[in-house]
């Protein structure tokens, strides 16, 4: 009899829906039905057993084709690429569990690599703003149970986080929000009149790239100052009207997205969004939240901050002495300056999602892709190592967009022989240790650096 | 009627792109979801475009051929949209304002109709850019 698995987590977007019901065939090999997921979540589960999967690592041959090799050979190849590179870049982790991220960090430290995640091209600006200005945030549960005013700014959840509005913001009936949608005001601010804007009580079509000015105008009005007749394409009366709604809310949340992070101003747009949130807390309770994209892209920030003190753009070239400086140690900037000499694309697709100029620079050097599926990165790699799909075939911890950790489960086994990210990185780490030991045996231990160490006798 | 106009380009996720991406970036669904451009009707008229006409989009760092479509969202005149993905990234400038984040939203492009050209596949664009394209396989 087919088996129903309940409370399954969805490994796609940062909403991390954990109420999916997945029906699996008798033999536990095929996914038959997925309930409660949106169109994208559905696709992930069906794709896992629906199409052809890559079951063995593939190594690029001189004629440009791929040849299947064993995991052992792939681990050896990957470790040697890392060992021989002066400054490898290990990037991605949009679709991995925290266990895999921790194992990859061990590899990065051993290899003296730069370790970066998709936040680098996504919500990295949010980190910069949060470092500078704090993060008056909340959990999605608090928004659901308390919020009577919701702002979506530069975010289009109808497309990017399809169940965000029904689970947490606009529609659900919460503890203090028993009337659901009826008791909430929805404000959408975006240069595009999107499907999300269709849901809004008030929509403001801000001029693209002028969000900062509009935030500034809101701050001025909230603090009782005059503003010009029009700011960033929005009339003064509308700004005043919305400012009054914000001030009179019982509890509000600003959800913001790439419209702020990808436009001119980057972190400064987020910074002033946080400042407006702080200002509003003089009147009532306001919170702000980044609409993190992938289901566990919040994960590397949590894991690596715990391991090294920094959430992304970690330069580990000095091994356990980490430093972080976006602009300098960020993947796209490193690529454009040709400062890395090997590239690991892990659980993401830099081939499709980096500007093509950055792809061209990175491809001058060895490129290895670790991903369950064929994607653009795998198709320009020297080596493609398939792994199990987290949340479908591999269990593990993921962090939801509001920094709440959730234990994901697996519903089926990975294709025979296919290993997890975590096991792969553990094995690469092991091989790196062996390579180091072999070298030390040949050359003798490296002399300790000259100089006086802290704590040593003068 | 203008031969070419300059617009402000933004590239962001669409649900069609999200669904198609999970199916696979070499599928026809991904091709149709991402190799498109949306503009305001005024700009479509200014270029004299008919629905589904192909246009060349050129930025400071490259160009790409995409199909003009009328999406569900609406943009104001002067703003253009290509869904996030392979075609958008042929023209996204890699400049990051020292944050690591490329200029995915808000960069100038010129848009002009083309007649005898075709949209390239995702693989042809990406493998072609790095000298690995071996023709239709
Ligand atoms: S909203 Fe996001 S997490 Fe929920 S089912 Fe859809 S893709 Fe999955």
Atom of ligand 1 lying closest to residue A13 CA? 2
Q: Is the CB of A299 under 6 A from ligand 1?
A: no
Asked if B59 and B92 touch (Cβ cutoff 8 Å), the reply is yes
For B14-48, write each residue's pLDDT tens digit: 999 988 988 899 999 999 999 999 999 999 999 99
Residue A93, CA distances (Å) to A244, A390, B130 in order: 41, 11, 23
Domain assignment of residue A390, given as a range: 58-121+312-443
Q: Same structural domain for residues A239 and A353?
A: no
Look at residue A375 and tell me if it is in a domain: yes
From chain A residues 350-389, the ones with a CB under 8 A of any chain B CB are 351-360, 363, 373-376, 379-380
Look at residue A48 and tell me if it is in a domain: no
What is the percent of chain A with per-residue pLDDT over 70, rounded to a whole number?
A: 97
What is the pLDDT averaged over residues A38-63? Answer: 91
Q: Same structural domain for residues A137 and A246?
A: yes
Give the pair of three-digit tokens for residue B61: 């760092």
- Position A445 pLDDT exceeds 80: no
Give the pair of three-digit tokens for residue A277: 């949130």
Q: What is the number of domains present in chain A?
A: 2
Q: How does residue B112 score in pLDDT terms, banded at 50, 70 and 90? A: very high
- Position A457 pLDDT exceeds 90: no
- Position A180 pLDDT exceeds 80: no
Return the higher-pLDDT residue of A173 and A36: A36
Q: Same structural domain for residues A220 and A206?
A: yes
Asked if B74 and B40 touch (Cβ cutoff 8 Å), the reply is yes
pTM of the model: 0.95
Whether B96 has its CB under 8 Å from any CB of chain A: the answer is yes
Q: Comparing A164-178, A291-305, A373-387, which segment has the lowest mean pLDDT? A: A164-178
**A10 Cα to the center of ligand 1, angstroms:** 6
8-state DSSP, A286: E
Whether A341 has its CB under 8 Å from any CB of chain B: the answer is no
Q: How does residue A277 score in pLDDT terms, banded at 50, 70 and 90? A: very high
Look at residue A62 and tell me if it is in a domain: yes
Q: Same structural domain for residues A184 and A258?
A: yes
Q: According to the model, what pLDDT value does residue A171 have? A: 82
Cα Rg of chain B (Å, integer): 15
Rounded Cα distance, A142 and A33, in Å:
31
Look at residue A425 and tell me if it is in a domain: yes
Q: How does residue A458 score in pLDDT terms, banded at 50, 70 and 90? A: very low
Domains of chain B: 5-129 (2.40.40.20)
Number of A–B residue contacts, CB under 8 Å: 184
Whichever domain contains A273, its CATH number is 3.40.228.10
For A319-370, write each residue's pLDDT tens digit: 989 999 999 999 999 999 999 999 999 999 999 999 999 999 999 999 999 9
Q: Same structural domain for residues A243 and A169?
A: yes
Residues, chain A, total?
A: 458
């Amino acid at each position: 009899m087919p088996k129903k698995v309940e409370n399954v987590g969805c490994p796609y977007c940062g909403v991390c829906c954990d109420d999916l019901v997945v029906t699996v065939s008798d033999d536990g090999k095929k996914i038959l039905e997925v309930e409660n997921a949106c169109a994208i979540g559905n696709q992930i589960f069906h794709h896992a057993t629906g199409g052809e999967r890559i079951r063995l690592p593939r190594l690029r041959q001189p004629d440009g084709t791929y040849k299947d090799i064993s995991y052992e050979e792939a681990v050896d190849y990957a470790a040697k690429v890392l060992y021989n590179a002066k400054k490898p870049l290990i990037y991605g982790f949009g679709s991995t569990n925290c266990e895999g991220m921790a194992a990859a960090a061990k590899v990065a430290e051993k290899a003296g690599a730069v370790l970066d995640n998709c936040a680098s091209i996504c919500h990295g600006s949010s980190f910069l703003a949060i470092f500078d200005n704090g993060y008056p945030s909340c959990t999605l549960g608090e928004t659901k149970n308390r919020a009577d005013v919701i702002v979506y700014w530069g975010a289009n959840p109808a497309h990017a986080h399809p169940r965000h509005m029904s689970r947490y913001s606009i529609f659900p009936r919460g503890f203090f929000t028993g009337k659901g949608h009826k008791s909430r005001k929805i404000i959408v601010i975006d240069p595009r009149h999107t499907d999300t804007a269709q849901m809004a009580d008030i929509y403001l079509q801000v001029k693209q790239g002028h969000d900062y000015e509009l935030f500034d105008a809101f701050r001025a009005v909230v603090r009782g100052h005059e503003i010009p007749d029009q700011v960033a394409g929005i009339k003064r009366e509308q700004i005043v009207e919305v400012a009054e709604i914000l001030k009179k809310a019982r509890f509000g949340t600003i959800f913001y997205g790439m419209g702020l992070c990808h436009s001119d101003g980057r972190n400064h747009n987020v910074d002033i969004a946080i400042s407006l949130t702080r200002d509003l807390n003089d009147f009532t309770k306001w919170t702000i939240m980044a609409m993190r994209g992938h289901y566990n892209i919040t994960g590397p920030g949590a894991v690596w901050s715990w391991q090294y003190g920094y959430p992304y753009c970690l330069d580990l070239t000095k091994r356990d002495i980490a430093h972080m400086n976006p602009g300098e140690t960020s993947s796209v900037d490193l690529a454009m300056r040709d400062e890395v000499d090997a590239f690991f694309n892990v659980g993401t697709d830099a081939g499709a999602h980096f500007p093509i100029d950055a792809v061209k620079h990175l491809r001058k050097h060895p490129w290895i892709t670790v991903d369950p599926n064929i994607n653009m990165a795998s198709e320009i790699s020297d080596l493609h190592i398939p792994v199990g799909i987290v949340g479908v075939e591999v269990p593990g911890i993921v962090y939801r967009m509001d920094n709440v950790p959730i234990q994901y489960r697996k519903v089926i086994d990975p294709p025979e022989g296919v290993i997890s990210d975590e096991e792969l990185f553990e094995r690469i780490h092991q091989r790196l240790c062996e390579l180091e030991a072999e070298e030390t045996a040949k050359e003798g231990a490296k002399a300790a650096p000259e100089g006086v160490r802290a704590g040593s006798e003068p | 009627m203008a031969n070419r106009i300059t617009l402000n380009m933004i590239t962001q996720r669409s649900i069609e792109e999200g669904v198609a991406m999970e199916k696979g970036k070499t599928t026809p669904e991904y091709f149709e979801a991402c190799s498109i451009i949306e503009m305001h009707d005024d700009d479509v008229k200014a270029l004299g475009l008919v629905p589904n006409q192909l246009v060349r989009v050129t930025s400071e760092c490259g160009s790409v051929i995409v199909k003009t479509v009328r999406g569900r969202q609406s943009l104001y005149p002067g703003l253009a949209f290509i869904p996030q993905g392979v075609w958008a990234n042929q023209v996204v400038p890699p400049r990051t304002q020292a944050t690591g984040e490329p200029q995915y939203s808000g960069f100038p492009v010129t848009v002009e109709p083309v007649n005898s050209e075709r949209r390239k596949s995702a693989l042809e664009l990406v493998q072609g850019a790095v000298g690995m394209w071996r023709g239709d396989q």
